[in-house]
A and B are shown apart, each in its own frame.
Chain A
């Protein structure tokens, strides 16, 4: 896909450097001359948006560390010092806190795009796997970052999540103690989470480089799922993709700014403005919104160990996806049946998110008591989350493997340019 380089050093310095370290050539081949399919839609702009999110998180994070004190006694007050006494500290902190949410909004859209257009299929399996690794690292980073302000939700969230490892047989208890650095979530836990929260983003950046490398080897997928065949199918990355990505980034920044400046605490929990107190447990411990679907899967299973396994299994499904989907057709644009199942999958994920935010025994439809099934009323969020979890797993483990063999896809266009030049895209 990358083909051979067309870079022509123009100045003497460029020729000199090119013979020693062809870094300008690398940049030129990757971000200027790189051929991109001409039919990419706005769903393809989220890769660029995600690099923007990562850069923003790194910069704001590094500045926050200049003022933050990683200590159980001082962390909470030092965050408030940033909010009150550091010049534009409120801006940096709100950008970092809301930036995490923006990062996850973008990554979920990016993943759903990959899912819909079959971007995980050969030869892009490694590209997809690297993406899954980034997502896993993002979750670890976000979780540890949320602990750092040392508020009530930070503390008790950390207790709940680290205790999950305690469910593992035999080694569980040792692992939790090892994670905590003691026998409870305390100063040692805070300090190691801080250390790792600083380390992991650079690991993310490293895997992002691999992700982009893999992308440039196999080339971008596109809405038709048909590989570019000739020069007519592609346009050079610059200016075509850069300007489109730039526009999308700018629009995304408006959403970001709206949260930062007008509703900076809307995505957080009020309890996190109360300093951590191990003796007082909040009445309702909820993780950040981007973990809610997994939290719902965890609570859907009555057995703790099985719940933990189900939660990790939900992520494992993503890793196995390239080998679960048996369809020869990449894009769901030409898979009408798969498209419907995909839409239901998106809804199921949203329902899981809703369930994660609710108390398991709360009623879905108020004032309606149906009948008790096993351990809870059928009209409860725990049962809703069970149905949604079931669909989540069925989508990966049953629907995609079987559907690919049984369905009758629509005819796939000969090339990218042919439908793009004749009909208006669907």
Chain B
């Protein structure tokens, strides 16, 4: 019986391990060591600031981040949080960042549609007026909103980092259409574009976005060397923060809750033993 079960378990295990490497599937994302991993993980504020700069200067020209407001940048755990400004709307760095953006509004006197500089309370404005405009400017492809990107892709920040650093020349025999780029980490099925044998279809898929980051693309204010690898890491960390801004609070609360529950369980177990000490069962 037990032997039968262990054979079944072994087969199931093999099946799991084998699936990831089968032809046609994207490469598994590279494993990056993030500061926010593990039960005590925290965001690295300097990294978030660099990541924000990458987002601002590169990503935001096509990608919206609709669910975030400027004030979020100054929230606890955020890239521009400062203890002096508990209310992030008062944070001078946040105010300065917001002022650089223009948002649509209605003139309170005339009712005319106007543009005014953003305030900390405003949402990040989107680069395109609507989906049609976004597709029109990007060869038919829609740049996804980045607010939740790090949670909306399996692999999360590892996947975003791998994709950004994973652009390679397409293998010979792969027909890449106009406005398409090969990336081995992109999900997809390349069988139809592959002239070689069906057993050796290259991993990954096509992506409409050309490689967005290159060495030296962004100048980091803290003097960090601006390599492709660094930019990709920083922007992935920033996007993880954007998707899960309460991550630090969650992990810290969790630690306290689990310690409490362990103590409670210990006490209850002792009570159980005491109550039942004279009863056989």
Interface on A for B, CB 8 Å cutoff?
Answer: 38-40, 77, 80, 83-84, 90-91, 94, 235, 239-240, 243-244, 246-247, 250-251, 253-254, 257-258, 260-262, 264-265, 270-271, 273-274, 283, 340, 343, 347, 351, 354, 358, 362-367, 420-421, 425
Interface on B for A, CB 8 Å cutoff?
Answer: 1, 5, 8, 11-12, 14-15, 17-19, 21-22, 39, 67, 72, 144, 147-148, 151-154, 156, 187, 243, 245-246, 249-251, 253-255, 257-258, 261-262, 264-265, 268-269, 271-272, 275-276, 279-281
Alpha-carbon separation in the docked complex, A264 to B244 (Å):
11
Alpha-carbon separation in the docked complex, A425 to B280 (Å):
10
Query: Is B245 a contact of A84 with CB atoms below 8 Å?
Result: yes
Chain A residues contacting B243 (CB-CB under 8 Å) are: 273
Alpha-carbon separation in the docked complex, A260 to B255 (Å):
11
25 cross-chain CB contacts under 8 A? A77-B67, A240-B276, A240-B279, A243-B271, A246-B268, A247-B271, A250-B261, A254-B258, A257-B254, A257-B258, A261-B254, A270-B152, A273-B152, A273-B243, A340-B1, A343-B5, A351-B8, A358-B19, A363-B18, A363-B22, A365-B11, A365-B15, A366-B14, A367-B18, A420-B280
Q: Which of A39, A80, A261, A343 has the most CB of B within 10 A?
A: A261
Query: Is A247 a contact of B154 with CB atoms below 8 Å?
Result: no
CB distance from A399 to the nearest CB of B (A): 15
Alpha-carbon separation in the docked complex, A94 to B261 (Å):
18
Chain B residues contacting A253 (CB-CB under 8 Å) are: 261
Q: Which of B19, B67, B144, B153 contacts A84 (CB 8 A)?
A: B67
5 other A-B residue contacts (CB within 8 Å) besides A91-B250, A271-B152: A243-B275, A257-B257, A270-B154, A273-B151, A347-B5
| Chain A residue nearest in CB terms to B20 | A366
CB distance from A54 to the nearest CB of B (A): 19
Query: Is B268 a contact of A243 with CB atoms below 8 Å?
Result: yes
Query: Is A257 a contact of B268 with CB atoms below 8 Å?
Result: no
Query: Is A265 a contact of B254 with CB atoms below 8 Å?
Result: no
With contacts A84-B246, A243-B275 taken as known, whether A265 is within 8 angstroms of B151 at the C-beta atoms is yes
| Chain A residue nearest in CB terms to B268 | A247
Instruction: For the complex of A and B, list the 7 residue pairs with the smallest distance between their C-beta atoms, beginning with the closest.
Output: A261-B254, A366-B18, A273-B152, A247-B268, A250-B265, A90-B246, A273-B148
Query: Is A261 a contact of B258 with CB atoms below 8 Å?
Result: yes
CB distance from B200 to the nearest CB of A (A): 13
| Chain A residue nearest in CB terms to B18 | A366
Q: Which of B11, B21, B147, B246 contacts A364 (CB 8 A)?
A: B11
| Chain B residue nearest in CB terms to A238 | B275
Chain B residues contacting A358 (CB-CB under 8 Å) are: 19
Chain A residues contacting B275 (CB-CB under 8 Å) are: 239-240, 243
Alpha-carbon separation in the docked complex, A257 to B246 (Å):
16
With contacts A38-B279, A247-B269 taken as known, whether A261 is within 8 angstroms of B8 at the C-beta atoms is no
| Chain A residue nearest in CB terms to B1 | A340
Query: Is A39 a contact of B250 with CB atoms below 8 Å?
Result: no
Alpha-carbon separation in the docked complex, A347 to B3 (Å):
13
Chain A residues contacting B154 (CB-CB under 8 Å) are: 270
| Chain A residue nearest in CB terms to B262 | A254
CB distance from B66 to the nearest CB of A (A): 8
Alpha-carbon separation in the docked complex, A301 to B15 (Å):
22
With contacts A38-B279, A243-B272, A254-B261 taken as known, whether A264 is within 8 angstroms of B18 at the C-beta atoms is no
Query: Is B12 a contact of A91 with CB atoms below 8 Å?
Result: no
| Chain B residue nearest in CB terms to A343 | B1
Query: Is A274 a contact of B148 with CB atoms below 8 Å?
Result: yes
Chain B residues contacting A91 (CB-CB under 8 Å) are: 250, 253
Chain B residues contacting A250 (CB-CB under 8 Å) are: 261, 264-265, 268
Q: Which of B19, B250, B280 contacts A362 (CB 8 A)?
A: B19
Query: Is B15 a contact of A351 with CB atoms below 8 Å?
Result: no
Query: Is B72 a contact of A84 with CB atoms below 8 Å?
Result: yes
Chain B residues contacting A247 (CB-CB under 8 Å) are: 265, 268-269, 271-272
Query: Is A90 a contact of B279 with CB atoms below 8 Å?
Result: no
Query: Is B281 a contact of A420 with CB atoms below 8 Å?
Result: yes
Q: Which of B14, B153, B154, B246 has the most CB of A within 10 A?
A: B246
Q: Which of B19, B21, B253, B265 has the most CB of A within 10 A?
A: B265
| Chain A residue nearest in CB terms to B155 | A270
Chain B residues contacting A235 (CB-CB under 8 Å) are: 279, 281
CB distance from B28 to the nearest CB of A (A): 15
Alpha-carbon separation in the docked complex, A38 to B258 (Å):
31
CB distance from A416 to the nearest CB of B (A): 9
Alpha-carbon separation in the docked complex, A111 to B192 (Å):
48
Chain B residues contacting A264 (CB-CB under 8 Å) are: 250
CB distance from A282 to the nearest CB of B (A): 11
Query: Is B153 a contact of A270 with CB atoms below 8 Å?
Result: yes
With contacts A271-B152, A340-B1 taken as known, whether A351 is within 8 angstroms of B39 at the C-beta atoms is no
